[in-house]
A = this chain, B = another copy of it.
Amino acid sequence: MSLPHTVQPTPDRAVARHPAWLPPEAFGPLGIRSALVCGTGPLVDTVVEELTRAGTRYGGRVHRHARAGAVELVLALTGADPLPPVAARLAGEVAGTLGAEGFLLDRSGHVPVLLADTPAGLLYGLFHLVRLGGSAFDLHPVERHRPALDRRMLDHWDNVDVHPVMGQVERGYAGGSIFWRDGAARNEPDRIREYGRLLAACGVNAITVNNVNVHATEARLLTDRLGDVAAIADLLRPYAVRVHLSVTFAAPVVLGGLPTADPLDDRVRAWWATATRQVYDRIPDFGGYVVKADSEGQPGPFTYGRDHADGANLLAGALAPFGGVVHWRAFVYNHRQDWRDRTTDRARAAYDHFAPLDGRFRDNVIVQVKHGPIDFQAREPVSPVLAAMPATRLAVEVQVTQEYTGQQRHVCYLGPWWSELLGFTPWGPQGRTVADIAAGAGRTGTGAGGGRTGTGAGAGRTDTGAAGGRTLPGGGLVGVANVGADPFWTGHPLAQANLYAFGRLGWDPRLDPRAVLDEWIGLTFPPSTTGDPALVRRTLHEIMDDSWRTYERYTAPLGVGFMVNPRDHYGPGVDGYEYSPWGTYHFADRDGVGVDRTRATGTGFTGQYPCPWAERYESVEQCPDELLLFFHHVPYDHVLRSGSTVIQHIYDTHFAGVEQVKTMRQRWQRLAGLVDAAVHARVSGLLEEQLRCAREWRDQINTYFFRKSGVPDTHSRPIH
C-alpha cells in the first residue's frame, strides 16, 4: 500500500485577487458625490485616498478645505480647524466623547456629516458610509457608533518556513501565506495593503503575523528578523491595523543564549525588556505578544516550576512601558492523556489551570480563552473559564479558519454561531453576556456590550464576580484567520463572509448575523454587477444563513464532537480519536454514547459553570439537545427534548443534512450567469466536494451507530 488518500491543497495561482467586500462598485454612491475631508494624519490620508479613488471612477471630487464650497458629504475630525459651518457646531458639542475608534453620523441636515475624535474613527466611519451606500444620503436621526470590543484581532497561524507536517499555514485552507513563503517574507506589499483595507472595512484592528506554534525560524521574528515584521506593520498602519507577534516562551534560551527562561530570573526579565524595547524602537505602535505556553509541546513556565501568571506577567512587564499587551492563551491541557482513564477530562483543563490564577495577572495581560472547553468543534458549550475570572481581562478566541467546519471546502457561515456565543449569558438570561465579558463591561455596572452607545447589554449583577474596585478594559475577540494567498483570499469565496462577520460582530456583537450577511452580500455582489440582485441576495441567504447548522447535522451528533480523521481533521473518522492520547472521546458502545461530565457520576465538569447552567447541564432532562452527548452518556433509545430518540435523531439529521447540501447545490446552480463566472465556478466545484463529503459523513456516522446499536432506521433508509 502506497500513498494515503490526501486532501489536495488549494493551488496558489497567480491570478488577479478577488476584491471581496470592497469592489469598486461598492464605492459608487460615495464616488459620485463631492466630499470634504477635514483633518490630518496618515489615517485621514487613507480616507482621502479611498474617496479620491472612488471619485476618480465615479465623477465626484474630494476637497480638503473647509471653505471649498458646495460639498455633498463631510468627514471631519472634531479637532480639525477650520471646520465647515455644517460640522462646526456639532463637532464642538461632541468633541472628546466619540471614543478612540468611534464616530458620529449626522444625516439630519442636507449634507451628511461624519465626525470622529480620531483618524481611526473617521476611517471606520468611511466604511460605515460605504455599507450604507446610497442611503447614506437619506434623512436619518443622528447616530453614534463605537466598537463594543476594543480589540478585534486575527491570529495568523502562518509559518515562515514550510513546516514538514503543517505546511506554510497551519490549519490554512486558502493556499499559502500572504506574509511568508518558503522561509522568507513573501514581499507582496499590494496584497498586504489590500488585506489591510478589507480588515479596516469590517472593523478588525489587530493581527498576529505568525503561528502560535513558534518554530525555530519564526522565533527569530522577535529579533534578527524583526525587519520583516516592521515591513508588515508599515503596510497595515494606514488601515489602523496593529501588528502583534507570536513568541516562544523559550526565547531567552533559544535566541538569547541564556541558560534559563525562568520568568522569575532577573536575566530573563532583562532579556525580555531589551528585546521588547528593540521591537518598539522599530515598530512604535506594536501591539504586543501572543503566547501558547505549556501546550501541545510548546515551552512554558511549568518547566521552571512557575505558573501561568508568572509567565504572562513576565512578558507583560516588558510590554507595559510601551502600552503593549500580552495575549496569553488558556489552551493548556494534557495532550498525552491515557484513553483508558475516564477521570481525566480535557474539558476541565483550562478552568483548572487558570481560574485559580484570577487576580494575579497584570493589567496588560489578556487571557485568551477558546470559546469552548475542547477545541473549536462545530458545537461545544461556552467555556466556563469566561465566567470564572472576573479580575482578569479575557479575550474570546474563535476559529475563522474552518479547521473543524469544512476547511473552506464546505459552505459554513459562522456568523450565527458567534452570535450565539457572544450573546450567551453564563449567569442566566438577565446576566452579562460573553460579549460583555470580552468587553470588560458590567463589572463596574457600566454596560458597554453594544455597538451603539446607550443601548448596551444588561448591566452586570452583583453575583457575577465583579472585580471589586478595579476597572479593567476587556480582552476583545480573537479569531484564527482564514486568509491565504488564494485569489479569493479564503479558498471558498463564500468563506469571505466569515472573515467579514468576524470583524462586524467584534465591533457590535448584537448584530443579527443575517443582517451582517446581508451587508456582506450587498458589498460583495453589488447589484450593478449581478444579473438579478434580488435573486442573488435571496439565494445566498438561503444557502448560507443556516449552513452552520446544516454542517452540524451531517457531522458529529449532539455535541459529542471530534469524530474526524486524525491529522488533517477533514472528513469523518468516528473512532479517529477514540483511542488517542488527545483527550477527545465519545465512548460509544453497543448500548449508548456520550461523555458523562456530570458532578453526580461523571468528571464533574458541569460544576465549573455558575448557575443556572451548572444545573441545566447536569440534568439529562434539561440539558439542551445539541449538547446532550457533550455532557451525558445516554442509551441509544434515550428520548431527546425534541421527542426523538438519540439514535433516530442521528439518522434523521444525517439524512437531512445531505439533502440540504443537495438543495444548496441546486440553488447555487440558478445563479449561473448571474454572478461573476470565476466565483460561480469555484463555488460549484466546492459544492460537489461538500456533497461528496456530507454523504461520506452521513454514511459513516449512520453505519457506525447502526452497527453498534443494531437499531434500524424507522424510515428504512439505506444504512450500510
Interface residues of A (CB under 8 A from B): 1-6, 165-166, 170, 213, 295-297, 335, 339-340, 375, 566-567, 569, 572-575, 579-582, 588-591, 696, 699-700, 703-704, 706-710, 720
Contacts and interface: CB of A to CB of B under 8 A. Distances in A.
Contact of A340 (B566, B581, B720): B720
Nearest to A211: B2
Task: Label chain A's interface by main secondary structure.
Answer: loop
A296 B1 contact: yes
Given A579-B700, A579-B703, A708 B4 contact: no
A288 B708 CA distance: 52
B579 A572 contact: yes
Nearest to A339: B720
Nearest to A336: B5
11 contacts: A1-B582, A2-B166, A6-B165, A340-B703, A340-B720, A566-B566, A573-B579, A574-B575, A579-B700, A589-B706, A590-B710
Nearest to A1: B375
A2 B170 contact: yes
Contact of A590 (B335, B569, B590, B703): B590
A357 B579 CA distance: 45
Given A575-B575, A579-B703, A720-B340, A710 B1 contact: no
A707 B588 contact: yes
Contacts of A4: 165, 566-567
A319 to B, nearest CB: 25
Nearest to A4: B567
A574 B708 CA distance: 14
B699 A340 contact: yes
User: Which among A1, A567, A580, A703 has the highest number of chain B CB atoms within 10 Å?
Assistant: A1
Contact of A708 (B166, B170, B572, B708): B708
B590 A707 contact: yes
How many monomers of this chain does the complex have?
2
User: Which among A2, A213, A335 has the highest number of chain B CB atoms within 10 Å?
Assistant: A2
Contacts of A575: 573-575, 704
A301 B222 CA distance: 56
A710 B5 CA distance: 33
Contacts of A590: 590, 707-710
Contacts of A6: 165
Given A574-B575, A575-B575, A699-B340, A707 B589 contact: yes
A699 to B, nearest CB: 6
A567 B166 CA distance: 16
Contacts of A566: 4, 566
A405 to B, nearest CB: 14
A2 B580 CA distance: 14
A412 to B, nearest CB: 18
Nearest to A719: B340
A164 to B, nearest CB: 8
Contact of A297 (B3, B295, B581, B589): B3
Contacts of A581: 5
A3 B700 contact: no
A339 B569 CA distance: 20
Nearest to A701: B579
Contacts of A340: 699, 703, 720
A324 B254 CA distance: 57
Contacts of A375: 1
Nearest to A333: B1
Nearest to A574: B575
A296 B2 contact: yes
A588 B700 CA distance: 13
B296 A710 contact: no
A662 B588 CA distance: 31
A581 B4 CA distance: 10
A1 B375 CA distance: 7
Nearest to A565: B566
A505 to B, nearest CB: 24
A268 to B, nearest CB: 25
B579 A2 contact: no
Which 10 pairs across A and B sit closest by C-beta, in order of nearness?
Answer: A589-B707, A2-B296, A340-B720, A575-B575, A590-B590, A4-B567, A579-B700, A590-B710, A1-B375, A2-B213
A708 B580 contact: no
A293 to B, nearest CB: 13
Contact of A296 (B3, B213, B296, B580): B3
A591 B710 contact: yes
Contacts of A5: 580-582
A166 B6 CA distance: 13
A5 B566 CA distance: 9
A167 to B, nearest CB: 10
Contact of A165 (B3, B579, B703): B3
B297 A2 contact: yes
A339 B375 CA distance: 30
A435 to B, nearest CB: 26
Nearest to A720: B340
Contacts of A589: 706-708, 710
Contacts of A296: 1-3
Contacts of A335: 1
A576 to B, nearest CB: 8
Contacts of A2: 166, 170, 213, 295-297
Contacts of A573: 575, 579
Contacts of A567: 4, 567
Contacts of A699: 340, 579
A703 B579 CA distance: 10
Nearest to A711: B590
A198 to B, nearest CB: 28
User: Which among A296, A566, A703 has the highest number of chain B CB atoms within 10 Å?
Assistant: A566
A218 to B, nearest CB: 14
A6 to B, nearest CB: 8
A443 B1 CA distance: 32
Nearest to A165: B3
A657 B383 CA distance: 43
